Chains A and B, each alone.
Chain A
Amino acid sequence: MNKSKFKFRFTRRAFAYPYMAFLLLFVVVPLVIILINAFLDEGKLTFANFAEFFSNAGGGLTVLGNSLIIGLVTTLICLAIGYPCAYLLAKYHASNRVLVLLFILPMWVNFLIRTLSTKAIFMSLNVELGMGTVLFGMVYNYLPYMILPLHTTLVSIDHSYIEAAEDLGADRLSVLLKAVIPLSVPGIVSGITMTFIPAISTFAISEILSGSKIYLFGDAINMHFAKTTNSLGVGSVMSLVMLVLVIVANVIVNLTNKEEEVNSVL
């Protein structure tokens, strides 16, 4: 019996093998290579790359701090604009799908072309390129990633909850604060991660919309890998830091989502 256990059987599971192979080859192997490179300096095993990054010799920590702040602010602005947007879209969803389409439409245009045109508009208006323009570009580019998950969650809220709240005497504001917003927390959380994670690792937007003056974490990693040789080590450390940040963000998302499930079941 044991022998047949390892025999290849053409079951549904077989369809997963190519995908597993793909993941192994293009996700796991590169990660391992990054991990190895982070500990290598001129062929020797060392912590020098970590020491260099965390001592801020190349300004790496400053850049990371700036990136985190810009990512945070971008996410907050996206949420502030995106939530009302998604709410209105969800409210008029049945009657007007065209509106939703209009919000997704910019995503169909190549992102570089969009950003270059944004720069051209700023230049023609004589706006000085800098932090403000970068922030604008980030919000403009990542807003759809905030609106879409919010919209999906808001649309899927059972309308009878809202009716029930109204029946029990809640006015409109109370319905929004005590029924709609708590029910849409999963959407808010996934919207935040979908905006925050790309926002802290972006490099093209800051490069184009600040004339490369605002130097973000993505730019720094790009510099270590693409524009120089011999500095893969520090670049790998930076990638690892990025990876840790992404993992932390995902853990937080999972925790909040789990709590939410418990709450909704109760």
Chain B
Amino acid sequence: MKKYVSVIAVIMLCVFVAMGVAACTPDTVPVDELVVYNWADYIYDYEDDFKEYYKDITGREINVTYVTFDTNETMLTKLVNGDAKVDVVCPSEYAIQKLLESDSLVKLDYFDEAAYTNNMTINDKYTHNSGNVDAHILDKVDATFGNIVTNSGQTVKMSDYFVPYMYGTLGILYNKYEFIANNIYDEQILNKANWGILFNDDGSGNILSEALTGNILMKDSIRDTYAATVFYLKERGLLDGKSTPDGVKYTDLSANQLINQVDDTILDLCREVLTDQKSQLFGYEVDFGKDDLLQGNAFVDLAWSGDALYAVEESWNDDLGEEGDYELAYYVPNGAGNIWFDGWVVPDCCNPDHMNAIKLFINFLNQPRVAAENMLEIGYTSALDPQAVMDDIEARRALAEGYAVYAPELWDDNDNKNPISADDCDYDSWDEFEEYFFAYCDEIDGCNWRYPFLTEQDGNYNRALDTLGVMRDFGDKNHDVVTMWNYARSAGVSALPLLGWTALGVVAIALIVAAAVGVKAIRRKRVVIRSDDK
């Protein structure tokens, strides 16, 4: 009994001390609030850094509530129904378009410093980071979405309402060594097949390689599949001579116009090729695609650049090549391609009292060091200009630590010591790492996987801006697209043979039982006869 009393006493003491501590803090420094609504696993461990940053600039404490979502659809439903009381959200481009159209966003003006910092409580330590954002992305955004007309009749520009966060391309993740073994790891062969790789088509209607049959994965996501399929249709010439309902030839459309073109002709063609594709597929995937490729269950997968780069880095194998090699590789098809991005927006259901914290949070994320940490954590490409990241000493330190780069020159050896020794490093120098991370161009697709817009030395983009399209929302065509996708998914599968086999099985069992009963009956008759004889 005494034991219990003392245990209870200790617990109560602890509770009182804790309450005392908790009660004291708010008296000294005022605490602000912020509610962040983001994708799951889509930010680094930012909380302490942000609190420090916030205190540095406002002298106040901040308390962040962090909520996550899994799909744009769940997020949109919650925001539009008003179920979520959140301050700052990170949707994909087409979801931002939807939110803008339904007048659900607050204008930010991040790229107009005076307008943005107006009404903000900040001291002179504040620096506006909008200049760090990659200008190519903003160009692309406004080129694609142009002026959006909202339901209330206003005409708005998307770049006034959002701040880009991450971006990437849609491409093909494949098993390089399987391709080498089957003699198709060749610049000319793959560039001819291009999007056809996903359909096991060499670019002229023949099979690319027998080995790929039954080893191709497609995404169980209609938007991504639609983009890949439409580009494939164009490449194979299946759209030649056909026109949109408006009378424009499909072949005259730019990449951007083509993936945003939805009509009956193109949907019928999509349904056809997607149904035919099934005989080549290993299956459709949502979450397990990377694992299936890493385990060698499948050789080809439709993938986003961030996922693909993660899988490629995971696939390092010491036994391959002369000094080890990555088993997987990524392929960004030439010509028309698809690019995606997401960014931070402020929904109008936000708490107006939190506006200061919202604006500081967005500006905080656009620091090169934070971008570097995020890239390390998430694997996608930050929307910050790569040059801004390369030029920032703290960002370089973060990357050097994350990728185990031996670069003692980045640390001054007084307060900050170089944490990577020459023995443990994966990269011998910062230059070697920079070459890999920022400037690497693949020999097969000639593309920088991480930075598709990065300029080459002669000042040209290594991808022409107009070949990469951004996909808008399907809008009122959404329903037709879903119907097409459902049809393609259900076609070509029939369980009827199964019914036949089962009927056969049932008949067989019935026959056996009947035979057993019959044999018994005959035996019994014999017994009866015998007993009669006696």
Contact = CB atoms under 8 A, between A and B. Distances in A.
Interface string B69-103: 00101001100000000000000000000000000
A228 interface: yes
A128 B77 contact: no
Given A80-B509, A220-B486, A213 B285 contact: no
Contacts of A174: 520
B493 interface: yes
Given A171-B520, A226-B71, A131 B498 contact: yes
Report, nearest first, the 9 A-B pairs whose CB atoms are least far apart. A211-B283, A59-B490, A212-B284, A58-B486, A69-B495, A58-B483, A66-B495, A59-B487, A215-B489
B108 to A, nearest CB: 25
A211 B478 contact: no
Interface in B291-319: 295, 297
Interface string B473-491: 0000011001111111111
B222 interface: yes
A131 B493 CA distance: 9
A65 B490 CA distance: 11
A177 interface: yes
B478 A213 contact: no
5 contacts: A62-B494, A66-B490, A69-B495, A212-B220, A228-B222
Interface of A: 52, 57-60, 62-63, 65-66, 69-70, 72-73, 76-77, 80, 123, 128-129, 131, 135, 171, 173-174, 177, 210-215, 219-220, 223-224, 226-231, 234
A224 B493 contact: no
B31 interface: no
Given A66-B494, A173-B520, A215-B489, A227 B73 contact: yes
A65 B495 contact: yes
Interface string B491-528: 10111101100100110010000001100100010000
Given A73-B502, A76-B502, A80-B509, A220 B490 contact: yes
A171 B516 CA distance: 12
B35 interface: no
Main secondary structure of the interface of A (DSSP, over half): helix
A135 B498 contact: yes
Interface residues of B, number: 43
Main secondary structure of the interface of B (DSSP, over half): helix
A165 to B, nearest CB: 15
Interface of B: 71, 73, 76-77, 214, 217, 220-222, 278, 281-285, 295, 297, 478-479, 482-491, 493-496, 498-499, 502, 505-506, 509, 516-517, 520, 524
B482 A73 contact: no
Contacts of B220: 212, 227
Contacts of A224: 482
A158 B73 CA distance: 57
Given A62-B494, A131-B498, A210-B283, 9 more contacts: A57-B487, A58-B490, A69-B498, A77-B502, A131-B495, A173-B520, A211-B217, A212-B220, A223-B482
Given A69-B499, A213-B283, A229 B73 contact: yes
Contact of B222 (A131, A171, A227): A227
Name the residue in B76, B77, B494, B495 with the highest tally of chain A Cβ atoms < 10 Å from its Cβ: B495
A229 B77 contact: yes
A72 B297 CA distance: 31
Contacts of B76: 229
Nearest to A64: B490
Contact of A66 (B285, B493, B502): B493
Contacts of B284: 211-213
Contacts of B73: 226-229
A60 B486 contact: yes
B478 A229 contact: yes
Contacts of B487: 57-59
A69 B295 CA distance: 33
A20 B483 CA distance: 39
B509 to A, nearest CB: 7
Nearest to A209: B283
A57 B283 CA distance: 23
Contacts of A129: 282-283
